Chain A
Amino acid sequence: MALICGRPPRTSPDPAFADWGDGGAALALKHWSMFAHGACVTVELTALSLIFGMLIAIPAALAMARGWRFWGGFARSYAYVFRGSPLLVQAYLIYYGLSQFEVVRDSVLWPFLREAYWCALLAFTLNTGAYTAEILRGAIAATPKGELEGAKALGLSPFKSTWLVELPSAARRALPQYGNEIIFMMHGSVIASVITIQDILGAGRTLNAKYYVAYEGFITAALLYMALTMVIVLCVRGMEKRWLAHLAVGR
């Protein structure tokens, strides 16, 4: 069960669309509540994993950019493993793999880890955390030296210089790439449907299985994913206009 979106609705057709005929679009419309719930789950899983992923990414990116011997190496290996292997296998490893161990089954975390939802969220968080860490690392490494020297000259402590100068400046540079990361993570969240979660694609697969049809559910899902992608693109463009306004001068 999803945290905010709740349980999936029953799959019976909505009588409001009864006289719309038997076409593919009508079939999808009759089951709009399934797709609405699916869209909610997709947005929820994506948003939560991006938020939690960011909590991992900031310290990991700092450790890598600073070149700390132990933590930097640890963060680099983390990013390498999670960026170098498919999200599908990572989700399988967590969902099917962890339950193999008695230690896990006896632990306090078991009520969470036995549910597909939390396993998917954990896999997505670790995955997007790795990609975001790499994006932020690049942005931090590209900080103009003068900005840090300026912070030092103003008497900011190393902690303040990091939080008030270095990271905000890096976040701005990382924004275009992070916009892509949001889209790729939203697209990556289709993996959830493979481990039984009723996200957008899950709703499409349920519809197809129920009526023995081949395209209707998938085309509806594809259209919904496209719409979500466009919303994200527009939001990111708006944020860029606001925070990267100083780059537009002279262009």
Chain B
Amino acid sequence: MSKLIEYAPLLLSGALVTISLAVSSLLLATILGALGAWGKLSKSLAPRAIASAYTTLIRGVPDLVMMLLVYYGGQRLLNQLLEALGQERIDVSPFLAGVATIGFIFGAYLAETFRGAYLAIPKGQREAATSLGLRPRQTLWLVTLPQLIRHAIPGYGNVWLVLVKSTAIVSVIGLEDVVGLADKAAKSTREPFLFFLAVIGVFLAITALSQWLLRKLDARYSAHLNIPLPDAKKAGAPAESAQPTMAPALR
């Protein structure tokens, strides 16, 4: 136990790396998710095909395989490109490879969340905006987006909770996040049980804190409603009952 106190600052700095990795990945995932949702909702064939290929790829390949491919394969590809251009070789950091992979994976899940949130907005809202003389851009910013955010919050929160956990795999390529540092501490103190248990505690604490914040956010965005929000599942998959939904349960 005294070892844990001794190493607490180290674990805390690791937790900060984990959180910044997760937040950066979430930002990338949000951008890719918005693009993916736009593709899925698009009327033309090409964006829809690309978006559904993206989703299929993510559903088919495990996160760790994707990450090793991005880290080792991506590094080689980048350097071959740079060499062909006569530039110097660079090293991709595990942090960047982690953000790229996790952002790419969760972008696909967010695309589904955003698509569901968009479809949950009644058509009459947009028709009313048109009849009031709002331009398409004004309709998007003043009518569609605020409601989309409200409908997307439960699903977005779920994706965040899963994303935080899935950052653990980046320690496999050598990132010194909370898992990587605990592994080092476990090796030098020969107390692996204590340190990995502490890591589980850190993840549970991040989860609990996030859930509390999400509840507050949710309450704020649906303050005008007396009725409770439709939950994530209903918002994510309207009128598609027996089909497996894209609820992420990555390990």
Bound together, the chains give a CA A187 to CA B203 distance in angstroms of 21
List CB contacts (< 8 Å) of A116-175 with chain B: 127, 131
- Binary CB contact string for chain B from 153 to 180 against chain A (1 if under 8 A, 0 otherwise): 0000000000001111101100000010
A100, B193: Cβ atoms closer than 8 Å: yes
Contact of B251 among A191, A201, A230, A240 (CB under 8 A): A191
- Residue in A84, A201, A233 whose CB lies within 8 Å of B207: A84
Q: Report B81 CB to chain A, min CB distance, Å.
A: 14
CA gap between A97 and B191 in the complex, in Å: 7
A160 and B244 alpha carbons, distance in the complex (Å):
30
Q: Are B166 and A86 in contact (CB under 8 A)?
A: yes
Chain B hits for A100, CB < 8 A? 190-194
CA distance A182 to B186 in the complex (A): 32
Residue B241 at the A interface, CB < 8 A? yes
Residue of A86, A226, A240 with most chain B CB atoms under a 10 A cut-off: A86
Interface size on B, residues (CB 8 A): 46
The residue in chain A whose Cβ has the minimal distance to the Cβ of B241 is A247
Our pick among B66, B203, B241 for the contact of A85 (Cβ within 8 Å) is: B203
Minimum C-beta distance from B82 to chain A (A): 15
8 Å CB interface, A62-109 against B: 80-81, 84-90, 92-93, 96-101
Q: Which residues of A contact B241 (CB under 8 A)?
A: 247
CB pair B60 A214 closer than 8 Å: no
Interface membership of chain B positions 172-215, coded 1 if the CB is closer than 8 angstroms to chain A and 0 otherwise: 10000001000100100011111011011001100100000000
Residue contact A86 to B60, C-beta cutoff 8 Å: no
For A96, list chain B residues within 8 Å (CB).
186, 192-193, 196
In whole angstroms, what is the CA distance A84 to B207 when docked?
A: 7
The yes or no answer to A5 lying at the interface (CB within 8 A) is no
B193 and A84 form a contact (CB under 8 A): no
| Cβ contact of B165, chosen from A84, A99, A131, A177, cutoff 8 A | A84
Q: Is A40 an interface residue (CB 8 A)?
A: no
The yes or no answer to B61 lying at the interface (CB within 8 A) is yes
Considering only residues 56-103 of chain B, those with a C-beta below 8 Å from chain A are 57, 59-66, 68-69, 72-73, 75-76
Q: Which residues of B contact A80 (CB under 8 A)?
A: 204
Determine whether the beta carbon of B251 is less than 8 Å from that of A87. yes
Complex interface residues of chain A between 186 and 229 (CB less than 8 A to chain B): 186-188, 190-191, 193-194, 201, 204-205, 208, 214-215, 218-219, 221-222, 225-226, 229
Distance to closest chain B CB from A43 (angstroms): 14
Q: Any chain B CB within 8 A of the CB of A181?
A: yes
> Does B247 sit at the interface, judged by CB under 8 A?
yes
Do residues A89 and B196 form an inter-chain contact, with CB atoms below 8 A? yes
B42 within 8 A of partner (CB)? no
Q: Is B250 an interface residue (CB 8 A)?
A: yes
* Further pairs besides A188-B251, A204-B65, A215-B73: 10, Cβ < 8 Å: A86-B167, A92-B192, A97-B192, A177-B245, A180-B244, A186-B62, A190-B62, A191-B64, A193-B64, A201-B65
Closest 9 CB pairs of A and B: A188-B251, A97-B193, A86-B168, A226-B60, A87-B251, A187-B62, A96-B192, A93-B196, A214-B76
